[in-house]
Amino acid sequence: MMLEDKTMMQGKTKIALITGASRGLGKSTALALAKKGVGVIVTYLNSETEAKSVVSEIKALGTKAVALQLDTGNIKTFDAFVVQVKQSLQDIWQTEQFDFLINNAGIGSNSSFVETTEAEFDQVFNINFKGVFFLTQKLLPLLKDGGRIVNLSSGLARFTHPGRATYASTKGAIEVLTRYLAKELGHRQITVNAVAPGATATDFSGGIVRDNPDVNKAIASQVALGRVGEPDDIGGAIASLLADENRWITGQRIEVSGGQSL
Contacts 24+ apart (CB under 8 A), 242-248: 242/16, 242/33, 242/38, 242/100, 242/148, 242/150, 243/4, 243/36, 244/3, 247/191
b/e map 39-67, b = 16+ CB within 10 Å: bbbbbbbebeebbbbbbeebeeeebbbbb
Catalytic residue among 81, 98, 100, 167: 167
Catalytic site residue 167?
Answer: yes
Pairing of strands 253-256, 98-103: unpaired
> What are the catalytic residues?
167
